[in-house]
Amino acid sequence: MKKIVLFFSLVFLSANEREIPIENFYKTELKIKGRSFTLWLALNPKQQREGLSSLDINQVTKDKGMLFIYPFNEIQTFWMKETLINLDIAFIDEEGIISDIYKMKNSSMKCFSSTKPIRYVLELREGVFQELNLTVGERIDFPLIIKEFS
Q: pLDDT at position 16, please? A: 54
| Cβ–Cβ under 8 Å, residues 103 and 88 | yes
Q: What is the pTM of this model?
A: 0.86
In total, the chain counts a number of residues equal to: 150
Enter the DSSP assignment of 96: S
Residue 106 structural domain: 2-149
| Cβ–Cβ under 8 Å, residues 64 and 30 | no
Give the residue ranges of the chain where pLDDT is below 70.
1-16, 150
Q: pLDDT at position 92, please? A: 98
The total domain count for the chain is 1
CATH number at residue 110: 2.60.120.1140
Contacts of 110 (CB under 8 A, 6+ apart): 79, 80, 104
CA dihedral (37, 40, 43, 46) positive or negative = negative
At residue 15, what are phi and psi to the nearest 5 degrees? -70, -25
Q: What is the pLDDT of residues 8-46, one digit of tens each?
A: 333 343 445 778 999 999 999 999 999 999 999 999 999
